Amino acid sequence: MAATIAITQRDLQGDANRFTDPQSETAKAIAEAISGLQSSTTDLNGGAKVISSAMAQNAKVATGLADVQQSSSKYSDFVTAHDSLVTWNVRMTTLKGRWQTYLANPKGVPDPFSMTTAADCGFAFSRTKTTAITLSRVDQLPGSTATNPETVLSVSVECTSPFTVAAGVAFSTLRQQQYGIQAVATPPASTTTVNKFVTTSDSRVNPLPIGMIHVRLYEPTEWFSVHGSFGVAGDIKPQSAGGSSADFILGPSIAFFRTMFLTPGLHLGRQAVLGGGYHVGDPVPSNITTPPLQTSYKPAFGLAVTFTKP
């Protein structure tokens, strides 16, 4: 029995030596197996981490799948943002092209950063006109919340009626003569007299009070304008010159500050001459006590200076 135990102890000791001796094949095989197990453990731990990360990423993807559905609000927001980006890209590209074209030819191409609008006074003669011009801006940048137009500038352009009533004085070159009957020595220096037709007054430039209507045709500046004008003048004369009458002036006018008007034009006025075939210097028949006059309208040059309330 003791011998058996000794043999067993010896065998166990030999086995122990094989396991503990680093140089033994068994110890080497065991060490390699242990190293392989450790490496596998490390690989398993890394794989577990990869699987955990993949599972987390898969969970995110699964959650995000609902957002890419066409019926989702996020998908709709993405499409809206994409369309806005495309629109602004087209706008800015077009604006850049217009600006480069303007820089190359400033006189032939309008400035893309400048805007003009006309407020003319083309309207019916019997009325005035008021044109309201409002400049507004809207913030169209992405993400903007203020979408209501904001008034930057508001201007009212008021156009007055083109008709102007003015009064003043006109000067006419229509010759005006007064006639009378006077005793004239015949022959001269004798004591014998004969009644003859004579001219008692002869005026070649005559001032006349006048009222005029001016119609504005062209106004390049605030202080200068061009008008078409018509006026009626009072030609106050004694009976010996044909009596008072209404004369007329028609022509263009230039105005300064819409207050002072200069009107050179055609003057139609009544002119008196001796009638009945008589002439100045003819003897007067005994049955005639006043010169027989004949009046008619004659054309002449006239110049009117009229004023109106500014």
Average pLDDT over residues 121-138: 68
- 235 vs 10, higher pLDDT: 235
- Of 121-125, 215-219, 269-273, 300-304, the range with the lowest mean pLDDT is 121-125
CB within 8 A of 254, min separation 6: which ones? Answer: 224, 225, 226, 227, 261, 262
Locate 13 and state its tokens: 């000791």
At 126 the pLDDT is 44
Which pLDDT score, from 0 to 100, does residue 144 have?
A: 62
Of residues 242 and 148, the one with the higher pLDDT is 148
Between these two residues, 289 and 121, which has the higher pLDDT value? 289
pLDDT of residue 298 exceeding 60? yes
Cα(45)–Cα(51) distance, rounded to whole angstroms? 10
pLDDT band at 52 (very low <50, low <70, confident <90, very high): confident
Q: Which distant-in-sequence residues (6+ apart) come within 8 Å of 104 by Cβ?
A: none
The answer, yes or no, to whether residue 166 has pLDDT greater than 90, is yes
| pLDDT at residue 290 in the model | 85
Per-residue pLDDT tens digits for 62-115: 777 777 777 888 888 888 888 888 888 998 999 999 999 999 988 888 898 888
Name 169's Cβ contacts closer than 8 Å, sequence gap at least 6. Answer: 207, 208, 209, 210, 304, 305, 306
Strand, helix or coil for residue 183: strand
Could you state, in order of their start, the residue ranges of all structural domains in the chain?
A: 2-61, 125-160, 163-175+203-276+285-307
pLDDT of residue 2: 66
What is the Cα gyration radius of the chain?
58
Mean pLDDT (the chain) is: 82
Poorest-confidence range of 123-137, 247-261, 294-308? Answer: 123-137
The answer to whether 263 touches 252, Cβ cutoff 8 Å, is: yes
CB 290 within 8 A of CB 276: no
pTM: 0.53
- Average pLDDT (205-228) is 91
